Copies of this chain bind each other. A is one copy, B any other.
Amino acid sequence: MSEASALRAKFPLLVANPGLHYLDSAATAQLHRSALDAVVAHETGARANVLRGSYRLAEAADRAYEAARQSAARFLNAASADEIVFTGGTTAALNLVAQSFGSLIEPGDRVVISQAEHHSNFVPWQMLRERCGVELALIPVLPDGTLDLACLAQVIDGRTRLVAVTQCSNVTGARTDVAAIAAAARKVGAKVLLDGAQAVQHGPQDVQAMGVDFYAFSGHKCFGPGGIGVLWARAELLAAMPPFHGGGGMIGAVTAEGYTWAEPPRRFEAGTPPIAQAVGLGAALDWMMDLDWVPIHAREGAMCEALIDGLRRIPEVRLLGPEPSSARAPIVSFDIAGLHPHDICQVLDAQGLALRGGHHCAQPLLAALGVEACTRASLALYNDEADVAALLAGIVRAIGVLR
């Protein structure tokens, strides 16, 4: 059994659909069996609210929830599990920062994002700008979709308080030069937020080594359940930030006159959290931390290169994104003149190929790349060469059907 098929065997949906070429992991990665099993085991063996219960079931729920926090801390190499805030997903985590940390930014001060951001790391900052006059500046992209690093010193100026960028583009896969961003930010005393949504399915991260201050990701993008995400932030930042949502669990005390804040991370977890989902995410992260990522990265890279090579041989195809393939996570988007991505995806679907076409929630990036929509193939550890070959053949066939 190949490495890929051994991995596929751990994904119930892929096992149930042997003919499926799932090439949309950038939208949602499939759920690993350990995560599903952990959710089921929790719901059937330890379901209780985590706030304040002292009976054994509630203690078990609490323990499982906090163990998941530990797993997330290890996955990111956070200094402490207290730096891990569970959220509903990347989008919720980014809104938390934009609202809470954002409220500490003075009008006229600057937040820097890039033109390559997903709408989830774009709109919250536009909303902050509307709310309180923070200035929003963009790092432009080059024609290949990578950030124009030559502009950094100019865009990240002395009034910049935060630089919030994606670690990998969800459209082109382009990897951000995090070291360059972090250095430019450090020079002016700005904090750095990394949107890790597209990085986490490719292995554990080291937020300390990367020198960033905030990191956000979603469970459903890294083989875990949906409805759960993580915000990591340095302890001293969380300590200084006001609450995000109000409700049970995030307070010290409440009277008619006012309320006091709980310590982080609970300060930012109002209400009953997504407990079973956190437990499932913890299982997925534990599994990922046990993998040997060197051969997986090699395989992902080789598949990505084979896909790019094959696409280059189809004359109608215009490839988006950087070269060489090592400059990107295994995500490949392309345009076929005169054909609409939805039609392409429809014909691919009929051949068992699951791909997504559209603006991929990155309209400013697509505008810079000169397309309104594109078709995207994204590869994960369970994909193999057969998926790539099927896609290349499928695209040729789609052109035939649609022309």
**A contact set with B: CB distance below 8 Å:** 12-13, 16-17, 20, 22, 24, 27-28, 30-31, 36, 39-40, 43-45, 47-49, 51-58, 88-92, 94-95, 98, 115, 118-120, 122-127, 138, 218, 220, 225-228, 243, 245-251, 253-256, 258-259, 270-277, 342, 345-346, 348-349, 353-358, 361, 363-364, 367
Contacts and interface: CB of A to CB of B under 8 A. Distances in A.
Contact of A53 (B27, B120, B123, B218): B27
A356 B124 CA distance: 38
A48 B13 CA distance: 10
B227 A122 contact: no
Given A119-B246, A225-B276, A90 B124 contact: no
Nearest to A257: B126
A206 to B, nearest CB: 25
A270 B182 CA distance: 28
State the oligomeric state as a number of copies: 2
Contact of A44 (B12, B57, B94): B12
A91 B44 contact: no
B13 A47 contact: yes
A256 B47 contact: no
Given A24-B58, A54-B346, A270 B95 contact: yes
Interface centre among A115, A227, A273 (most CB of B within 10 A): A227
Contact of A246 (B95, B245, B354): B95
Nearest to A244: B95
